[in-house]
Structure 1
């Protein structure tokens, strides 16, 4: 007849054995808002996994098992509401000046820099070739802009009516369309990110010589991640993961081909 102590010991050993074969605690889900912002995110609402954000998410998930990063499709205008209502935990490739100031958040410096530049037709038919001074004054010029973007020349006011009234702007949801408007003479200047233009020229080798790219920069995009105060991951933890990707070369591998600078992050 077994003693109560032996019986209890057997139950304890059995319980410990069962625990040892159970999977570890499930990774915490971190939802990242994915708005169409090429080449960072390309048409996420269609389920496409192209763009730099899916590559970054894959690298983050391969790096560790504590968090599972997933993309949640949103849009440039809708991302603020999705963030405030908790549909997403994080907005990425952002800047606090782009409408976030009144929304509680934590920022994480991603150590990435891009730029917004001006592009015009190099030599319209029947006219002399344009030079860099063409970009000095925007007055009277027809602009092709991306709807929802915050431009420094317009004091970061993204209201379509304001841009149309004050800057004779046509707004679209396609950099390709804006550049085509310039090539066809339907707009004088388009603003595009340096990273996008680099990719565009690779896809459209024949038009590179037809376009004049400004030395003037509208703004430097210094990218940040914007986290909800109650996000499953802290700003410090996310910053540490990004640093690991910098240290192992993954950040450079993902972003350098698009001329997005990987820069030091101040401590």
Structure 2
């Protein structure tokens, strides 16, 4: 029995509508973003915690469009390069091309966000800002795997221990405690982290002296694999959308992270 033209047309229409219903979910490109412990940006991602600024940024990116689905993939500060080269992650966010990416094929996108790495010591009678002008003879507490400008971005633990009398940990809290307990003279922390730490630990606010000197300005970039599902230009446009609608300011301003005017491409 032949189908009537009307029945055939209705069937095709239903099939087309069904395809349209399914397409948006299927067509969203999956973009895997490396999440390495780097507080306050990313906090213990291997524990499945959704705290930190990176999860907030990813949520805002996903909310603002439907072409891409950004997902977090836990990695670590030292392991992220290998994960990137092997294609386990497509992007690393809050990075800098100076931090070991030079020999790895990548595209970078200026995120227009600025933070700083600063020096912190115990506040003592008579101690002024000139205490931070020389690191010679001082015991440093550093975050393992970080690239510091004072050490020419050499993150090798043995080099830092030998040349800078450095103790390396995986916790800014531990490093600040070492300073408070007199086990280290200076800790280096991100300005955003120190601001958050002092909000959480108001009782030690008057015991710590933060430097006006910065070790480096964190000018944040996104690092993308050349074959990533999203291009640098497309990602830059998504960030611009969040800049325009105030989402970047909402996420980063509470941590004293500067949201700069749109970067020039």
Q: Please state which band the TM-score falls in when normalised by the shorter chain.
A: over 0.9
Aligned with residue 133 of structure 1, among 130, 133, 138: 130
What displacement does 1:18 show? 1.1
Aligned to 2:102: 101
Aligned with residue 162 of structure 1, among 151, 159, 162: 159
Distance 2:91 2:39 in 1: 18
Q: In the alignment, is residue 53 of structure 1 matched against residue 54 of structure 2?
A: yes
Aligned to 2:264: 266
Aligned to 1:121: 122
Q: In the alignment, is residue 70 of structure 1 matched against residue 71 of structure 2?
A: yes
List per-residue Cα deviations over 1:110-149 (Å, max 9, x = no partner): 00000000000011xxxx4311000011000000000000
> Which consecutive unaligned segments of at least 5 residues does structure 1 have?
none
Q: How does 1:9-48 map to 2 (within 5 A)?
A: 10-22=7-19, 23-25=22-24, 26=26, 27-48=28-49
CA RMSD for the aligned pairs? 1.3
> Which consecutive unaligned segments of at least 5 residues does structure 2 have?
none
Number of positions where the alignment pairs a residue of Structure 1 with one of Structure 2:
260
Determine which structure has more spread, i.e. the larger CA radius of gyration: 1
Q: In the alignment, is residue 181 of structure 1 matched against residue 178 of structure 2?
A: yes
TM value normalised by structure 1: 0.94
Aligned to 2:187: 190
Distance 2:6 2:211 in 1: 77
Aligned to 1:148: 145
TM value normalised by structure 2: 0.95
* Secondary structure of the corresponding residue to residue 23 of structure 2: coil
Distance 2:217 2:77 in 1: 19
Which 4+ residue blocks in structure 1 deviate beyond 2 angstroms? Answer: 6-13
Distance 2:97 2:194 in 1: 24
Aligned to 1:248: 245
Distance 1:158 1:89 in 2: 23
